[in-house]
Amino acid sequence: MVQPAPTDTPDPVDRASRGATGPGRPKDLAKRAAILEAAKALFGREGFVGVSMDRIAAEAGVSKLTVYSHFGDKESLFSETVRILCEEMLPDEFFQVQADGTLRGQLRHIAEGFFKLVVSDAAISTHRIMITPGQADQALRQIFWKAGPQRTHDAFAAFLRAGVEKGQLQIDDCDCAAKQFFTLLKGELYGRMMCGVCEKPSSEEMQAHLDATVEMFLRAYATR
């Protein structure tokens, strides 16, 4: 039997299936996880444009109908892969104020999680997709930004506001301070890695960079 050409546009049977999987009908979580793993691998290797839903379905070992049933379209699947990647490496717990932890220690913990995330192979590949002509349009960049960087920024800004309320920090604009913190963490090293002109830092180099960043941030904003 001749198979139809790959396409990212769901056919009528796909739409019918998605309509049948409404509230009360549970989806297979194992298949969902397999789809996400396949999407992360393929998007990371080949970009957004070069990967079809058919390829993702084949890689995950499921039907294309199943992929559409779980995620609706390729943009939604991409958004979820970005969100899951960030959540895996920088979970919400990182930004919860710990009553028994020092401010410096918590900032250091957040700094390490964020830095490991942005210099990971998956994150570097995804960021390159966003800036490569022909790989991402404005709508896709907005999807990426909201699913990854914006989520991280909002969570950290909320952490800083909690520090201000506890009297640990003196910050007039927590949104601005959050941007400064993450910019300091990326530093020149991140730009060099994005350009492919340097390798990941050694453990010693990374620790020194994180310590210096947290120290500078606290000198600017810690209550005296």
155, pLDDT greater than 80: yes
pLDDT, tens digit, 9 for 90 and up, residues 173-208? 999 999 999 999 998 888 888 888 888 888 899 999
52, pLDDT greater than 50: yes
Domains located in the chain, CATH noted? 12-72 (1.10.10.60), 91-221 (1.10.357.10)
Q: Report the candidate in 178, 186, 183 with the shortest Cα–Cα distance to residue 158.
A: 178
What is the percentage of the chain residues whose pLDDT exceeds 90?
A: 47
User: 3-state class of 222 per DSSP?
Assistant: strand
16, pLDDT greater than 70: no
| CA distances from residue 111 to 16, 55, 82, 199, 217 in whole angstroms, order as listed | 46, 36, 19, 19, 11
> Which one-letter amino acid corresponds to residue 34?
A
13, pLDDT greater than 80: no
On whether the CB atoms of residues 191 and 198 are closer than 8 A, the answer is no
pTM (two decimals): 0.73
> Which one-letter amino acid corresponds to residue 139?
A
User: Could you give the CA distance from residue 22 to residue 27 in angstroms, rounded to a whole number?
Assistant: 10
More confident residue, 172 or 148: 172
pLDDT, tens digit, 9 for 90 and up, residues 30-44? 999 999 999 988 987
Most confident range (mean pLDDT) of 10-24, 121-135, 183-197, 204-218 is 204-218
pLDDT, tens digit, 9 for 90 and up, residues 57-106? 999 999 999 999 999 999 899 889 888 887 887 777 778 877 667 999 99
User: Could you give the CA distance from residue 193 to residue 197 in angstroms, rounded to a whole number?
Assistant: 6
- Strands of 80-175 (E only): list them: none
- DSSP per residue over 150-190, as a string? HHHHHHHHHHHHHHHHTTSB--S-HHHHHHHHHHHHHHHHH
**What mean pLDDT value characterizes the chain?**
84
Q: Which residues contact 199 (CB under 8 A, 6 or more apart)?
A: 193
Angle at 197 between CA 194 and CA 202, to 5 degrees: 90
